[in-house]
Amino acid sequence: MTSTVNRESTAFASALDVIAQVEPRVAAAIGQELTDQRESLKLIASENYASPAVLLAMGNWFSDKYAEGTPGRRFYAACQNVDTVERLAAEHARELFGAQHAYVQPHSGIDANLVAFWSILAARVETPALAAAGVPNVDALSDADWARVRRALGDQRMLGMSLDAGGHLTHGFRPNISGKMFEQSSYGTDPATGLVDYAAVRERAREVRPLVLVAGYSAYPRRIDFAAMREIADEVGATLMVDMAHFAGLVAGRVLTGDFDPVPHADVVTTTTHKSLRGPRGGMVLCTDEFAPFVDRGCPMVLGGPLPHVMAAKAVALAEARRPEFADYAQQVVANARALADGLLRRGARLVTGGTDNHLVLVDVSAYGLTGRQAEAALLDAGLVTNRNSVPADPNGPWYTSGIRLGTPALTTRGLREAELAEVGDLLVDVLAHTRPDGDSQVRYRVDAGVAERVRARAAELVGAHPLYPEIDLTGRG
């Protein structure tokens, strides 16, 4: 009987051989990416490693299908198999998260947020306007009435976490389309602790009276009390939307429960399917039954044709997340993040909020006289892959930044545990403490070559002890 190792190695090697017959440079780049990822000590909080089954589910004949609409209501014929995988993905999502409804078509987290925003606008603004006018749909409105509805849609307010406090660009910031859709206001964190001050959020919500109150983050290392956010939303008549793209795996793995699980408290929840959920690159919307009819019109409202091959991969990843071992994985992600934070603190690093309750750690590198951009580059020289990130009230802005964001999902997938993550904290501080700005530049830097070489060698040993995709052997291919 063919072993799992042989089966998966054969599948990927054969795929690369077929690609190489048409464009060998693409095949070479794909193979090199596997090599590079195997050699990287990856601490990017938004990245992970999908299983071979998830990866293989994306490369198939579903890519050839148009499937606008929803299962059973397509605008194209012969979508019965697409219906099957989309229904499976939605079923797994509902069961995994305890959601009333799941929409698995969004191509990314931004797409998922756009579907959510427009669904809330449609449910809360457009539909009441249609009812008041006594017409069934927007096409039946007079030009004058439609102009009034359009003005009403454009006059709505959003309140979300500020970017430097850990929020995301898609939560109403001007460079993103969300900032052009809504009149955006922000809430921050307590300057002394870096933590969300729910009394301050309540006060801000009373001032703004938003249509949408957004909770969720991309760089906040603590839990959010979604029950408290629900109370605030109800008080001001807002729709509570939660973006759990970063921590969806911790919700799925039952690390975040009760008041810290957004699904029982929010009207609409959005997420990516990669990051801590460990699936393909894509998005998803969970919602109550009230918003389901509007969310299901994501295509053609803001989405192009669904990607059936990615929905197939989402179904596989969500099925994996329903297994008991995924809960063990999620627990280990948080244990590893705490160990990483402890290792950094022991060496005197300055952490935003002083630690972590989730999968990420935010280091203020200004204590080393560095910008985030300098720190990110110096760490990469030493084999540590991170990304720069703003810290609260960041004097360097969102491009150069004063922080680096670290995450443990990817290294946890590889099998590293607490002792190794604590050591990674030591390695990070070794590099940062031996890096200096080059003159007055916010970009150029000088890092002690001996330190960089030593840390790079140890990083290689750590990842070498935990092979990435050990079931895949491409040696001798071609």
Task: Give residue 1's pLDDT.
Answer: 41
**Annotated active-site residue in 74, 124, 204, 275:** 275
Looking at the predicted structure, is the pLDDT value of residue 24 above 90?
A: yes
Average pLDDT of span 115-131? 91
Of the residues 270, 295, 321, the one at which a domain ends? 321
* pLDDT band at 172; cut points 50, 70, 90: low
Q: Is the same domain home to 330 and 317?
A: no
- Write the pLDDT tens digit of every residue in 336-359: 999 999 999 999 999 999 999 999
CATH assignment of the domain containing 410: 3.90.1150.10
Query: Residue 96 in contact with residue 252, Cβ under 8 Å?
Result: yes
| pLDDT (tens digit per residue) in 322-340 | 999 999 999 999 999 999 9
Residue 224 falls inside a structural domain: yes
Q: Are 282 and 363 part of one and the same domain?
A: no
Pair (86, 164) in one structural domain = yes
Please state, in angstroms and rounded to a whole number, the distance separating the CA atoms of residues 363 and 367. 9
Domain hosting residue 393, numbered range:
325-464
Same domain? 357 vs 434: yes
Are both 308 and 342 inside the same structural domain?
no
Residues 123 and 136 both lie in one domain: yes
* Whole-angstrom distance, CA of residue 189 vs CA of residue 471: 45
> Do 297 and 75 meet the contact criterion of CB atoms below 8 Å apart?
no
Q: Considering only residues 146 and 452, tell me which one the structure prediction assigns the higher pLDDT.
A: 452
- The verdict on residue 460 lying in a domain is yes
Return d(Cα 284, Cα 106) in angstroms, integer. 6
Structure confidence at residue 5 (pLDDT): 56
> Is the residue at 127 inside a domain?
yes
| Residue type for position 250 | L
Residue 17 inside a domain? The answer is no
Residue 419 and residue 300 share a domain: no
Catalytic residue among 94, 148, 150, 281: 281
Average pLDDT over residues 143-163: 85
31 found inside a domain: no
Asked which of 321, 342, 372 is the last residue of a domain, the reply is 321
- Domain assignment present for 19: no
The HSE-up count of residue 328 (CA atoms within 13 Å, CB side) is 7
Q: Find the mean pLDDT for residues 22-35.
A: 96
Whether residue 378 sits in one domain with residue 425: yes
Residue of 66, 91, 148, 436 marked active site:
66
473 is catalytic: no
- In the three-class reduction of DSSP (H, G, I as helix; E, B as strand; rest coil), residue 401 is classed as coil
What pTM did the predictor assign?
Answer: 0.94
Type and span of the H or E element at 284: strand 283-287
Which amino acid is it at 327?
A
Span 286-310, average pLDDT: 94
Task: Write the DSSP symbol of residue 329.
Answer: H
Residue closest to 318 by CA, chosen among 62, 78, 102, 28: 102
DSSP output for 16-45? HHHHHTT-HHHHHHHHHHHHHHHH-EE--T
d(CA 302, CA 337): 36
Kindly state whether residue 427 falls inside one of the protein's structural domains.
Answer: yes
Place of tokens 């006289």: 369
Q: Which of 170, 272, 353, 371 is catalytic?
A: 272
Number of domains in the chain: 2
Q: Annotated catalytic residue: which of 86, 164, 243, 376? A: 243
302 & 354 share domain: no
* Rounded Cα–Cα distance for residues 472 and 145 (Å): 61
Tell me, yes or no, if 314 is annotated catalytic: no
Residues 177 and 293 grouped into a single domain: yes
First vs last C-alpha separation in the chain: 24
Name the β-bridge partners of 407: 360
Residue of 380, 345, 384 lying closest to 363 (CA atoms): 345
CATH number at residue 277: 3.40.640.10
65 is catalytic: no
Question: Measuring CA to CA, how many Å separate 82 from each of 78, 87, 108, 312?
Answer: 9, 8, 19, 8
Instruction: Give φ, ψ of 269 to 5 degrees.
Output: -125, 130
Three-class DSSP category at 216: strand
Task: Give per-residue pLDDT as tens, 222-258.
Answer: 999 999 999 999 999 999 999 999 999 999 999 999 9
Can you tell me the mean pLDDT for 79-85?
A: 97
- Choosing from 38, 39, 65, 68, the catalytic residue is 68
Considering the chain, what percentage of its residues have pLDDT values greater than 70? 98
Q: Which helix (H) or strand (E) covers residue 228, if one does?
A: helix 226-236
272 is catalytic: yes
Same domain, 202 and 338: no
- Mean local confidence (pLDDT), 444-470: 95
- Average pLDDT of span 50-68: 96
Residue 25 included in any domain: no
Query: Which of these three, 294, 321, 348, is where a domain ends?
Result: 321
> Where does the pLDDT of residue 3 fall: very low under 50, low under 70, confident under 90, or very high at 90 and above?
low
Task: Say yes or no: 335 and 287 in one domain.
Answer: no
